[in-house]
Every structure is written in structure tokens, then in C-alpha cells.
């Protein structure tokens, strides 16, 4: 657990249990942080406390099937389930939050905000996700997630695999920080998410009609929207980001230099500086 955070349990669709870290005063305006597929709430360990220090009540849940949240009993991880979980989270907060969602978290939030029953938000930050991905980058993510089904002998071995996958990111000073994203399985370490998630992800990277659906949801959401793109992202190319912002009247965009798809993890200080001016409009 991150120092200063208070873990809580929230309910998603059908009452599924979602574990979240919470920072900040209970009376502060809510800000919901949603991680990407294959990550956990600990993707926000550096961002959450800093946002709380600016006066937000920050809630960072593990999505269903990730971290210490419950897994789908039937192994179903359709995008609509994640969107319904966002609707349940927003309703449970009792007031309109600002939502920051990376990749899967951002896409889920966008559909929750723009499709009925609409989750009412004050604003939405999409972190390296738009209406369609570059298929090559998306397939590279899935290949990495599927690459070591047998797991790792040690946390250090897992850290080395991450460093090889993300050569642009400085190697961590303390590989043990990665332990939060792993769980024990026998005598091995495996990623802390339900492996059945991959069965839902594969084949649904960019299905027919998805781009049109997402754009329509973004327009109907009618909330101020900031697209934060990794400057060297291989998932959201510059032309994709430009097309999204051209199609969504309330959207604006900022690029974070030298960051790939996992913007907050790659260049956390620059990511923080990129979103704070936007968030200050809602404090």
C-alpha cells in the first residue's frame, strides 16, 4: 500500500468487488484514476498522492480481473462490462468526478460517459487512447502480456522483462516496486490479473464499428476532454489523435515527449505537468 493511501472496497456491475486506493480529504472533489489493461491501481502510486496534495479526493481502483479486485466469474471481460463498472463507481461516489483513464480505463470511461445510462462526469482525461489504435502497437502489448504464461522465478526477472519491453524507459532503481503488479502462483511470480482477460482482448483490438461507436460516445458525452498522447506512442499515432480531436468539439490535446503508451509510468513528472492545468479548471 502506498503511504498516505486508504484502501477501500467499491462495487462494480453486479456487485463485483473492486479494491481502490484513496488519497485526500473526504470533503474534497472526487477524481477517479482508471488504469490500463494488464496494469493495477499501483500504476497511479506516484500520481495519486500528488493530486491529493492539490486538493482532490483521489480514487484509484483495480479494474475487474486486475490486482486485488474480483475476477469475472465466467471469464467474460467484454468492454461493456468495464464501462458498466465505471458507471457503478461514478454513481457510488455520490457526486460528479473528474475521470482520468489510461488505455482500457479511458475507453471504458468514455463509453460510460457517452452511452446510456450515462455516467455524469465533470471532465475526462484520456491517456493515450482514442477512437482507434494502431494495430501494431496494440498487438505488441497483447504479445507481451501473453509472452510468459509460466511466470518468473523472481521479481528481478520480471523487471528485466519489462525493461526489455520498454527500452525507452529508465530502468527502475528498485525492482521490488514491481512486486505490487505480481502475485505468487506456486513457486513462481505471475502478473496480477486474470489470464482469461487475454481471450477477450485478442480479436477485439479494433473490431468493425468500434471507432465510429467511440467517436459518437465522445461527442454525446459533452464534457471537457483532454487527450494526453505519449509522444513516441505506438498505439495512438499523431494522425489518430488529430482525427479524434477534429471529430470531438470539446476535445483538446497535449503530447508528453519521450513517453510511450504508458505515459504516467514512462514520464510521470511530465505527465503530471501536462494534466494539472486542465484539472485546475475544475477545482
For residue 1, give every residue at least 6 positions away whose Cβ sits within 8 Å of its Cβ, in sequence order, or none.
Answer: 7, 21
The predicted pLDDT at position 2 comes to 43
The predicted pLDDT at position 201 comes to 77
- CA-CA distance, 200 to 268, in Å (whole number)? 29
Q: Do the beta carbons of residue 259 and residue 266 sit within 8 Å?
A: yes
Q: What is the mean pLDDT of each run of 10 residues along the chain (283 residues)?
A: 72 97 96 96 96 97 97 95 98 96 98 98 98 93 91 94 88 77 95 91 81 97 97 97 97 97 95 98 91
Judge if the upstream peptide bond of residue 209 is cis by omega within 30 degrees of 0: no
The predicted pLDDT at position 86 comes to 98
The predicted pLDDT at position 205 comes to 77
The predicted pLDDT at position 168 comes to 85
pTM: 0.95
The predicted pLDDT at position 194 comes to 95
- CA-CA distance, 181 to 41, in Å (whole number)? 9
The predicted pLDDT at position 254 comes to 98
The predicted pLDDT at position 1 comes to 39
The predicted pLDDT at position 202 comes to 67
The predicted pLDDT at position 173 comes to 65
How far are the Cα atoms of 21, 138, 155 from residue 64, in angstroms, in the given order?
A: 14, 20, 24
The predicted pLDDT at position 3 comes to 46
Amino acid at each position: 500500500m502506498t503511504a498516505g493511501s486508504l484502501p477501500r472496497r467499491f462495487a462494480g456491475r453486479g456487485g463485483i468487488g473492486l479494491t481502490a486506493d484513496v488519497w485526500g480529504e473526504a470533503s474534497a472533489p472526487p477524481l477517479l484514476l482508471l488504469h490500463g489493461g494488464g496494469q493495477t491501481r499501483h500504476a497511479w502510486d506516484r500520481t495519486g498522492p500528488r493530486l491529493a496534495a492539490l486538493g482532490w479526493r483521489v480514487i484509484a481502483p483495480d479494474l475487474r480481473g486486475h490486482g486485488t479486485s474480483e475476477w469475472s466469474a465466467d471469464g467474460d471481460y467484454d468492454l461493456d462490462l468495464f464501462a458498466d463498472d465505471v458507471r457503478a463507481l461514478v454513481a457510488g461516489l455520490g457526486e460528479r468526478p473528474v475521470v482520468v483513464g489510461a488505455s482500457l480505463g479511458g475507453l471504458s470511461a468514455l463509453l460510460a460517459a457517452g452511452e446510456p445510462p450515462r455516467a455524469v462526469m465533470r471532465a475526462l482525461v484520456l491517456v493515450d487512447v482514442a477512437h482507434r489504435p494502431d494495430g501494431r502497437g496494440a498487438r505488441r502489448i497483447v504479445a507481451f502480456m501473453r509472452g510468459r504464461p509460466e511466470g518468473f522465478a523472481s521479481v528481478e526477472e520480471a523487471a528485466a522483462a519489462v525493461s526489455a519491453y520498454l527500452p525507452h524507459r529508465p530502468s527502475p532503481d528498485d525492482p521490488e516496486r514491481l512486486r505490487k503488479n505480481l502475485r505468487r502462483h506456486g513457486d513462481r511470480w505471475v502478473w496480477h490479473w486474470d489470464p482469461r482477460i487475454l481471450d477477450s482482448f485478442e480479436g477485439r483490438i479494433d473490431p468493425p464499428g468500434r471507432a465510429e461507436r467511440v467517436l459518437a460516445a465522445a461527442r454525446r458525452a459533452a464534457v471537457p476532454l483532454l487527450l494526453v498522447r505519449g509522444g513516441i506512442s505506438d498505439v495512438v499515432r499523431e494522425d489518430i489523435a488529430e482525427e479524434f480531436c477534429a471529430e470531438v468539439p470539446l476535445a483538446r490535446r497535449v503530447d508528453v515527449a519521450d513517453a510511450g503508451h504508458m505515459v504516467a509510468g514512462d514520464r510521470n513528472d511530465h505527465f503530471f505537468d501536462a494534466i494539472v492545468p486542465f484539472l485546475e479548471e475544475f477545482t
